[in-house]
């Protein structure tokens, strides 16, 4: 299948997640993504493992984020390597880096210098907090940005400590926004021949993520307060939340209280008119919670389905993978490491013309593609 980004060359001077997850998406959409790595050390993410899972000298985590890419080893302090890099840049369409501000400039690979070599380049800089100001040299680490951006106060219930979101969401969103803007900038290159500088930060990405909250805050001047009971979204009224049942948990989304009560048949809930759904949400949610404990999830789900109410079971991955609703998505793919070894990961989440996009190509070893790339550069 011809992929939409076929023919696009991306140079990834990035480490860990924000830049590399952008590179991965561009690769899955058809771009040729070349990681530029230090010849001895390689990308720092190679040494970062979770659950102590290793594929080779690099972690499974690294292999997950960097499949479907090539690697060109180059020491940015070595003039010969830099000459090769400049040749490579002259053919490249996109550069992504997530070094701290100033690092690429000192190596002679800042936007102005690169633009001289390749005027049509889409040059993407990802930082933690923007490129100026008091946070400029603070580590752009996800938990820290979550904490500073107010995000930790959106999750968990009121009265509890702030609860961070349990994934690297700043890195992930920033990388994904970079992908959108890189492709939009490539459209501009195709129309006008002119390149673009893109600047993103984890902080701005996480503020954008909370745009509904911020806009509400700007009007009311009151910070959105998490529900004190089973909070799921500080802005929403009862019954919105996750509830325990006699066996497991169910998620109950937005719906009129008395519509919910048609499924629940809970006498205590009858006392609450819809106007109370926000102002008395904790009280109402406690009434609902006590009632839901009396029957199994299955019982409530059947009743909800009959009434077309927005209620679903809370599943863990094991339960999710056993459902036909999951398998029909065909979301998993195998990556071939060598003759005997493979691992399973997820695929690109976008379908084009009805087809899923899979690629079984593994992540490269450091410098694995140097020779081929040098030959092609002549």
Partner 1 sequence: MSNLLEDVLVLDFSQFLSGPSASLRLADMGARVIKIEKPGTGDICRMLYVSDVKLDGGESTIFHAINRNKESYTADLKEEASLEAVRKLVARADVMLHNFRPGVMERIGLNYERVKEINSAIIYGEISGYGQEGIWKDLPGQDLLLQAVSGLTYLTGSQEHPPVPMGVAAADIIAGTHLGQGVLAALLQRYQSGRGALVQVSMLESLLDFQFEVLTCYLNDGHQLPERSAVNGAHAYIAAPYGIYRTADGYLAIAMAPVPRLGELLGAEALCRYTQPGDWFTRRDEIKRILKEVLLQKSTQEWLAVLEPADVWCADVSTYHDLERHEGYRLLEMEQWVTSGGKKIKTTRCPVRVNGQLLTSEKGAPLLGEDNERIAREFNL
Name which of residues 88 to 107 contact partner 1 (CB under 8 A). none
How many chain residues bind partner 1 (CB under 8 A)?
Answer: 141
Q: Is 329 in the site for partner 1 (CB under 8 A)?
A: yes
Mark the segment that binds partner 1 (CB under 8 A) among 36-44, 164-172, 266-274, 368-376: 164-172
Among 47, 56, 120, 181, binds partner 1 (CB under 8 A): 181
N-terminal to C-terminal alpha carbon distance within the chain: 29
For residue 97, the minimal CB distance to partner 1 (Å) is 15
In this structure, what token pair is assigned to residue 156?
């968990």
Nearer to partner 1, 82 or 235 (CB): 235
CB 3 within 8 A of CB 183: no
Region of 171 please: left (phi>0), alpha (psi -120 to 50) or beta: alpha
Q: Is 132 in the site for partner 1 (CB under 8 A)?
A: yes
- For the chain, the maximum distance between any two Cα atoms, rounded to a whole number of angstroms, is 80
CB 44 within 8 A of CB 141: no
Nearer to partner 1, 60 or 366 (CB): 60
Mark the segment that binds partner 1 (CB under 8 A) among 34-42, 73-81, 216-224, 263-271: 216-224
Find the binding residues for partner 1 in span 331-350 (CB under 8 A).
331-332, 343-346, 348-350
Nearer to partner 1, 77 or 353 (CB): 353
Among 14, 18, 58, 64, binds partner 1 (CB under 8 A): 64
Give the Cα separation of 59 and 44 in Å (integer).
Answer: 11
Residue 39 burial (CB < 10 Å; 0-12/13-18/19+)? middle
For residue 81, the minimal CB distance to partner 1 (Å) is 29
Find the binding residues for partner 1 in span 240-269 (CB under 8 A).
240-242, 244, 249-254
For residue 346, the minimal CB distance to partner 1 (Å) is 5
| Of 33, 325, 376, residue with least CA distance to 179 | 33
Nearer to partner 1, 84 or 214 (CB): 214
Residue 228 burial (CB < 10 Å; 0-12/13-18/19+)? middle
Among 14, 15, 25, 363, binds partner 1 (CB under 8 A): 25
Nearer to partner 1, 177 or 369 (CB): 177
Q: Is 148 in the site for partner 1 (CB under 8 A)?
A: yes
- Quick one: CA torsion of 160, 161, 166, 172, rounded to 10 degrees? 120
Please enumerate in sequence order all residues whose Cβ is within 8 A of that of 162, keeping only pairs 6 or more positions apart, or say none.
147, 152, 153, 155, 156
């Amino acid at each position: 299948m011809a992929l939409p980004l076929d023919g696009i060359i991306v140079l990834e001077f990035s480490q860990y997640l924000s830049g590399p997850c952008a590179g991965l998406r561009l690769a899955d959409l058809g771009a040729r993504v070349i990681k530029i790595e230090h010849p001895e050390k390689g990308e720092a993410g190679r040494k970062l493992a979770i659950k102590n899972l290793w594929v080779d000298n690099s972690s499974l985590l690294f292999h997950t984020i960097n499949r479907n890419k090539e690697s060109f080893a180059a020491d940015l302090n070595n003039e010969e390597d830099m000459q090769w890099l400049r040749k490579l840049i002259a053919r490249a369409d996109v550069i992504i880096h997530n070094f701290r501000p100033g690092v690429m400039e000192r190596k002679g690979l800042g936007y102005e210098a690169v633009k001289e070599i390749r005027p049509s380049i889409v040059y993407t800089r990802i930082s933690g907090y923007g490129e100026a100001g008091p946070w400029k040299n603070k580590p752009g680490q996800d938990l820290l940005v979550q904490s500073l951006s107010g995000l930790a106060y959106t999750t968990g219930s009121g009265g509890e400590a702030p609860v961070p979101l349990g994934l690297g969401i700043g890195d992930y969103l920033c990388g994904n926004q970079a992908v959108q803007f890189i492709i939009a900038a490539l459209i501009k290159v195709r129309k006008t021949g002119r390149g673009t500088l893109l600047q993103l930060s984890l902080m701005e990405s996480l503020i954008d993520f909370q745009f509904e909250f911020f806009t509400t805050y700007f009007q009311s001047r009151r910070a959105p307060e998490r529900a004190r009971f089973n909070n799921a979204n500080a802005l929403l009224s009862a019954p919105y939340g996750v509830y325990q049942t006699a066996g497991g948990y169910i998620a109950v989304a937005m719906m009129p209280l008395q519509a919910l009560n048609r499924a629940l048949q809970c006498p205590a809930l009858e006392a609450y008119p819809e106007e109370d759904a926000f102002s008395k949400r904790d009280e109402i949610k406690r009434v609902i919670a006590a009632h839901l404990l009396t029957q199994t999830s299955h019982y409530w789900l059947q009743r909800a389905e009959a009434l077309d109410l927005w209620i679903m079971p809370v599943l863990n991955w094991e339960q999710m993978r056993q459902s036909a609703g999951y398998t029909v998505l065909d979301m998993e793919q195998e990556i071939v490491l060598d003759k005997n070894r493979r691992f399973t990961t997820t695929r690109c989440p976008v379908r084009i013309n009805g087809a899923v996009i899979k690629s079984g190509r593994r992540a490269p070893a450091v410098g694995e593609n140097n020779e081929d790339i040098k030959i092609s550069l002549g």
